[in-house]
Amino acid sequence: KKVSRREKEGKLEVENNQFPCDYCKKLFPANKLQQHKSRYHRPKIFLCDICQDVYRTHLKIHQTSRRAKFGCNQCDKTFMHKGSLTLHIQKHIGPKNECNICQKRYVRKIDLDIHMRNHSGDLPYKCCKCDKAFMTTSALRKHEILHSGVRYKCDICNKEYSHPSKLTRHILYHTGLPLKCAICNKGFAEPNKIRRHIRTVHKLEDISRVNELTIKVSKNVGHSK
């Protein structure tokens, strides 16, 4: 059987313990290939300053679909959805839904209802494949992915995760701490950790105010290109 030139080259590479990079096709020893990928082909993270979602490739397409459509008549803020505008307008009025146990206040009644489950222990959303139950539908959906068996692998270190959001958070650690607190300049890898930091350290309890500060933080970071 005649051996093609490509097969000969491939055989030579393996014999010399040289393997091609998936991105630039340069050859490296097996123990240096992953190091090269991590250093020169680190995945770019795109943090949208409109909705805080994290993307790896298509931020511009995403932002085109997320252009603000609804403007507040009491300030210059604009929003993608009418519901977001309604929630924002409540901020001008002030939170009016107060917990009668711990006195925490919320702009939306649905947020108060969810909060009250912390006091009652009510877990209304049950998994149909095991005996676990959850406080919200989003928590249930996140749990159900575990039963699917799907795994999401990091291109840099090959760690696997059961949920794409966990992989996204993990990848942020490879890129350092791209998010900064607008108040104290402390660095964070994840948007939800900034929000928790602002609530606990800087004592800001109002949900809409915390989210607003977090959006300003992401704007300071900017977008990679």
Query: pLDDT tier at 220 (50, 70, 90 boundaries)?
Result: very low
Whether residue 144 lies inside any domain: the answer is yes
Does residue 118 surpass a pLDDT of 50?
A: yes
Does residue 34 surpass a pLDDT of 50?
A: yes
Which structural domain, as residue segments, surrounds residue 2?
Answer: 1-41
Whole-angstrom distance, CA of residue 17 vs CA of residue 80: 53
Whether residue 67 lies inside any domain: the answer is no
Does residue 134 surpass a pLDDT of 50?
A: yes
Q: In percent, how much of the chain has pLDDT > 90?
A: 8
According to the model, what pLDDT value does residue 16 have? Answer: 65
Residue-averaged pLDDT of the chain: 71
According to the model, what pLDDT value does residue 212 have? Answer: 59
Does residue 133 surpass a pLDDT of 90?
A: yes
E strands present in 81-202: 97-98, 105-106, 125-126, 133-134, 152-153, 160-161, 179-180, 187-188
Whether residue 62 lies inside any domain: the answer is no
Does residue 124 surpass a pLDDT of 50?
A: yes
State the CATH number of the domain containing residue 141: 3.30.160.60
Residue 108 dihedral angles phi and psi, to the nearest 5°: -100, 140
pLDDT tens for residues 176-199? 666 767 677 777 777 778 778 877
Whether residue 68 lies inside any domain: the answer is no
Burial of residue 107, with CB atoms counted within 10 A of its CB: 0-12 exposed, 13-18 middle, 19 or more buried? buried
